[in-house]
Amino acid sequence: MKCPLCGITDDKVIESRQNQSATMIRRRRECVACGARFTSYEKIEEVPIMVIKRSGHREHFDREKIKHGISRALEKRPVPHRVFEEMLNSVEDEAAIVSRSSNEIRSVTIGEIVLERLFNVDKVAYVRFASVYRQFEDVDEFIQVIEKLSETGAAKSNE
């Protein structure tokens, strides 16, 4: 690293130390040319995922927001906390994969990811979430979703 005093890029590390949570390494360095001591910090580069909302506004991806939305849909439903946690993690993983190239994801896409998971976990929660997220244009659209659900339900019980 370039010495802040003499500008020579020849130094040796005297000491390396992790911070308590082990997310950062602090290195004490000494310039070989002039003996100046300086410090560098090394940490994992985290590029925040940006969520593009329907309005076009952007905001940082917020796990808590998704958690809140899912837990509201699951309110009083017989879904174990472990399943809820797994679902939340898998939504977050999927969002990270989808946004990998651009670091962006549309809020609608997140909604669809959540819906896909909820569909397999709890149908009531699925409909609750869908009614909020999809913002059904009219009652017909809502009924279509319910009918589709009962069709898949019927198909499954016929197996």
Q: Name the site residues for Zn ion (rule: CB under 5 A).
A: 3, 5-6, 31, 33-34, 36
Instruction: Spell out where the chain has E strands.
Output: 11-18, 24-31, 37-43, 50-52, 58-60, 104-106
DSSP β-ladder status, 104-106 and 50-52? parallel
Question: Is 5 or 24 the residue whose CB approaches Zn ion more closely?
Answer: 5
Backbone angles phi, psi at 24, to 5 degrees: -145, 145
As measured in angstroms, the least distance from the Cβ of 12 to Zn ion is: 11
Question: Is 40 or 103 the residue whose CB approaches Zn ion more closely?
Answer: 40
Question: Is 36 or 108 the residue whose CB approaches Zn ion more closely?
Answer: 36
As measured in angstroms, the least distance from the Cβ of 34 to Zn ion is: 3
As measured in angstroms, the least distance from the Cβ of 4 to Zn ion is: 8
Rounded distance, CA 36 to CA 28, Å? 11
Closest listed residue to residue 111, CA positions, set 126, 93, 96 = 126
As measured in angstroms, the least distance from the Cβ of 14 to Zn ion is: 14
Question: Is 5 or 14 the residue whose CB approaches Zn ion more closely?
Answer: 5
The amino acid at residue 88 is L
Question: Is 29 or 128 the residue whose CB approaches Zn ion more closely?
Answer: 29
As measured in angstroms, the least distance from the Cβ of 37 to Zn ion is: 10
Planar angle of CA 137, 108, 154, nearest 5 degrees: 65
> Which residues have C-beta within 8 Å of that of residue 151, sequence separation ≥ 6?
none
